[in-house]
Amino acid sequence: MSTHRKRELRTRLIHPPRHARVATGDIVDPIHMTTTFERAADGGYPGGFHYTRDGNPNCRGLETCLADIEHGKSAAVFASGTAATMAVFQALPTGSHVLAAIDAYHGTLRQLRTLVPRLGIEVEFADAADGAGFADRIRPATRLLWVETPSNPLLKICDIRALASAAERHGALLACDNTFATPVLQNPLRHGANLVVHSATKYLGGHSDVTAGAVITREDDATWQRIRAYQSGAGAILPPFECWLLLRSLRTLACRVEAQSATAQAVAQFLAADPRVRATYYPGLADSAESAIARRQMASGGAMISFCVASRKAAMEVAAATELFTRATSLGGVESLIEHRASIEGPDTRTPQELLRLSIGLEHRDDLIADLDQALAAAD
Ligand SMILES: Cc1ncc(COP(=O)(O)O)c(C=O)c1O
């Protein structure tokens, strides 16, 4: 690859570094469905791999591509976003204090409440959108700040650069869940974060057919070595077929996300202007302090929108009346989804009962807006 100039993201997604060019000249790498690799007569491993749990060409190819597109040093892929998140907490020393954003994916919050304290780690939650207030809670024992921006499902924004500086001043790390923004719209490592986490199940996979996760690091430091050691020691890997599927999907990541985000902007504007909608949460909308931060660190508002209607009953009726939006959890696929978040999050949810979350797919914007219009009318 040319060393003169870093190529654009779209190009790098189509031409990721390849590790195992095959003699037949395949344009697409084959799937290396092998658990083990032959040793040479001298006992060495000429291909650089010895056992798939510790590395496989498909896995290596995917990790190299993810590190490249997030502007990181290295990446590690896992069997889900949840497993990737846990790997970060597993790498912290016992006695650590973790300061976590209270606005985050409810599964991450549950992990932080139930599993992480069992590692001898103290967890404290606060509002990361209030940057100074959040940073004020950093203590001598704080090893990690955990944020998600935009957050699931309220699309709250926090200032990655400001929090990265605060973490650094106190000798802590900043980890950012970049699932909603994707590397196409936001690169937290370039804003000073130390670690990025993805639920690759969402936009990176993009077709609602792969469950996977990833951690990407800015530095090959001691924390990264512990994440890698945990991945190998706990057997927390992503199998070759899933790695291959993800690399295939990544080729279209930029085109998909840019188109989905442009459609979401139009849908959010429609919702924000509609009197049947009480509130619309979308980073590309309001002229608030948060949207100024979003404009600084994101290329556009992304493809996730949440909105509130008059009541829980009305929300259920809207979700029941959509024809193009499928009622299902998850996000980031080519098909649009609608979800009543509070009922999937359960009794400890902080999400308003009258809130619906949309994952905008690749359908035409006019059809999506017409579908929401008729569903809002049906619930009126
Ligand atoms: C922002 C965010 N992070 C992490 C996860 C967990 O990912 P997975 O479902 O792949 O375990 C999700 C899942 O919805 C999510 O929305």
Q: Would you call 5 a catalytic residue per the annotation?
A: no
- Give pLDDT tens digits for 315-343: 999 999 999 999 999 999 999 999 999 99
Of 106, 179, 208, 306, best ligand 1 pocket probe by most atoms within 8 Å of the beta carbon: 179
Tell me how far apart the alpha carbons of residues 57 and 177 are, in angstroms, rounded to a whole number: 26
The pTM of the whole model exceeds 0.95: yes
pLDDT in tens, 261-303: 999 999 999 999 999 999 999 999 977 778 899 999 999 999 9
CA distance 167 to 193: 9
Tokens at 330, concatenated: 């998850």
Give tens-digit pLDDT for 137-153: 999 999 999 999 999 99
Q: Is 42 part of the annotated catalytic residue set? A: no
Q: Decide yes or no: CATH 3.90.1150.10 for domain 253-379.
A: yes
Does the Cβ of 182 fall within 6 Å of ligand 1?
no
3-state secondary structure of 45: coil
9-250: CATH topology: Aspartate Aminotransferase; domain 2 (3.40.640)
Q: Is 53 a catalytic residue?
A: yes
pLDDT in tens, 353-370: 999 999 999 999 999 999
CA distances (Å), origin 285, targets 107, 113, 159, 195, 265: 27, 33, 17, 28, 8
Q: Please give the average per-residue pLDDT across 42-69, as a whole number.
A: 96
Does residue 149's CB lie within 6 angstroms of at least one atom of ligand 1? Answer: no
Asked, colleague to colleague, whether 9-250 and 253-379 share their fold, the answer is no
Q: Where are the domains of the chain?
A: 9-250, 253-379
Determine contact, residues 112/145, Cβ cutoff 8 Å.
no
pLDDT digits (tens, 9 = 90+) for 75-110: 999 999 999 999 999 999 999 999 999 999 999 999
pLDDT at 20: 62
**Mean model confidence pLDDT for the chain:** 96
**Residue 131 Cβ < 6 Å to ligand 1:** no
What angle do helix axes 253-272 and 365-379 make, rounded to 10 degrees? 40
Best residue among 152, 211, 331, 345 to mutate for probing ligand 1's pocket (most ligand atoms within 8 Å of CB) is 152
Interval between CA 240 and ligand 1 midpoint (Å): 21
Residue 19, pLDDT score: 67
* Cα 141 to averaged position of ligand 1 atoms, centre (Å): 27
Q: What is the pLDDT of residues 166-199, one digit of tens each?
A: 999 999 999 999 999 999 999 999 999 999 999 9
Region 65-70: mean pLDDT is 97
Whether 177 is a known active-site residue: answer: yes
pLDDT score for 4? 57
Q: Nearest C-alpha to atom 7 of ligand 1 is from which residue? A: 81
The Cα 79–Cα 319 span in angstroms is: 30
